[in-house]
């Protein structure tokens, strides 16, 4: 998987929604609106339901030529043939995930507000790193705040794509892109909106505008 695929709107499913059909419908609306990466996040112990949802999302993302990433579950990622897995500080080792999923799998790592974690992730073979939260988040209200300086530093010093996450809306996203974010990871800014497809389209237009501006400046 080349880095060019790791760009754009990164939709993360709302963990408070557990109905597989409702999740699949919401994700399809996000994909139709322009999301290119989907992360399935479900911390429950209902393994059959989680597998059912993951398989439905695998079919959807294939159909829309998008990527499916599984949060914090290497075994589920392998079982549903996802494109990769996203791991956090306590989610198991990156090298173990690589050994299980193979060289082509996409492995992302949460680095919170710590640049040193990002350096370590790059050295261990991560495909992307994520920083945040950048804004107050109801999904993770206790998450540590991160600064734009992290994104500036990542742009200068890291050679892999960078995700910004945490309370992001279309109205607050521009500074993150300008600072160096390649992907915007969004939960509530998509999945709690009355029109998910329209919300995704707003992000897509913002991302296209930023990309066009970058090319013009070059």
Inside any domain, residue 67: yes
**18-43 average pLDDT score:** 97
What's the mean per-residue pLDDT of the chain? 93
192-197 — which CB contacts under 8 Å span 24+ positions? 192/14, 195/29, 196/26, 196/29, 196/30, 196/33, 197/29, 197/30, 197/32, 197/33
**77-100 average pLDDT score:** 91
pLDDT at 39 over 80: yes
Distance CA 121, CA 125 (A): 6
pLDDT in tens, 133-158: 999 887 777 888 999 999 999 999 99
Of 19, 53, 52, nearest in space to 39 by CA: 53
Inside any domain, residue 74: yes
Helix%, strand%, coil% for the chain, nearest 5: 45, 15, 35
Inside any domain, residue 142: no
- 86 forms beta bridges with 71, 108
Q: Which is catalytic among the residues 50, 110, 133, 201?
A: 110
Whether 147 is a known active-site residue: answer: no
pLDDT at 20 over 70: yes
Distances in whole angstroms, Cα of residue 206 to Cα of each of 12, 61, 117, 141, 169: 18, 22, 29, 26, 11
Q: Assign residue 93 the CATH number of its domain.
A: 3.20.20.70
Q: DSSP class of residue 59?
A: H
Residue 186: count other Cβ atoms within 10 Å of its Cβ. 27
Q: Which spans in 80-195 are helix H?
A: 94-101, 115-124, 148-157, 174-179, 188-191
Confidence of residue 104 (pLDDT cuts 50, 70, 90): very high
Residue 204's pLDDT is 95
CB 57 within 8 A of CB 38: yes
Of 106, 102, 108, 115, nearest in space to 87 by CA: 108
Confidence of residue 215 (pLDDT cuts 50, 70, 90): very low
Residue 18's pLDDT is 93
Q: Which is catalytic among the residues 49, 100, 140, 197?
A: 140
Residue 3's pLDDT is 59
Inside any domain, residue 181: yes
pTM comes to: 0.94
Distance CA 84, CA 129 (A): 13
Burial of 26 (0-12, 13-18, 19+ CB in 10 A): buried
Whether 41 is a known active-site residue: answer: yes
Of 126, 119, 185, 189, nearest in space to 158 by CA: 119
pLDDT at 1 over 50: no
Whether 7 is a known active-site residue: answer: no
Kindly report the CA angle at 110 between 177 and 188, in degrees rounded to 5?
60
Inside any domain, residue 151: no
Confidence of residue 2 (pLDDT cuts 50, 70, 90): very low
**100-122 average pLDDT score:** 96
Number of domains within the chain: 1
**55-74 average pLDDT score:** 97
Domain around 172: 3-108+168-217
pLDDT at 213 over 90: no
Inside any domain, residue 138: no
Inside any domain, residue 52: yes
Inside any domain, residue 212: yes
CB 181 within 8 A of CB 164: yes
């Amino acid at each position: 998987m080349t880095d060019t695929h790791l760009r754009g709107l990164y939709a993360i499913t709302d963990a408070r929604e557990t109905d597989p059909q409702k999740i699949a419908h919401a994700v399809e609306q996000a994909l139709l609106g322009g999301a290119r990466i989907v992360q399935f996040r479900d911390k429950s112990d209902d393994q059959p339901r989680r597998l059912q949802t993951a398989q439905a999302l695998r079919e959807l993302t294939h159909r829309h030529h998008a990527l499916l990433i599984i949060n914090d579950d290497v075994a589920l990622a392998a079982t549903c043939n996802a494109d990769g897995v996203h791991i956090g500080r306590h989610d198991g080792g990156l090298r173990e995930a690589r050994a299980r999923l193979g060289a082509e799998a996409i492995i992302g790592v949460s680095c919170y507000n710590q640049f040193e974690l990002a350096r370590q992730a790059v050295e261990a073979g991560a495909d992307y790193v994520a920083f945040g939260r950048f804004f107050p988040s109801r999904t993770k209200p206790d998450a540590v705040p991160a600064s734009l300086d992290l994104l500036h530093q990542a742009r200068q010093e890291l050679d892999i794509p960078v995700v910004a996450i945490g309370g992001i809306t279309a109205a607050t996203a521009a500074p993150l892109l300008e600072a160096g974010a390649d992907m915007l990871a969004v939960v509530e800014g998509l999945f709690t909106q009355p029109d998910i497809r329209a919300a995704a389209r707003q992000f897509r237009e913002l991302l296209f505008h930023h990309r066009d501006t970058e090319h013009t400046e070059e």
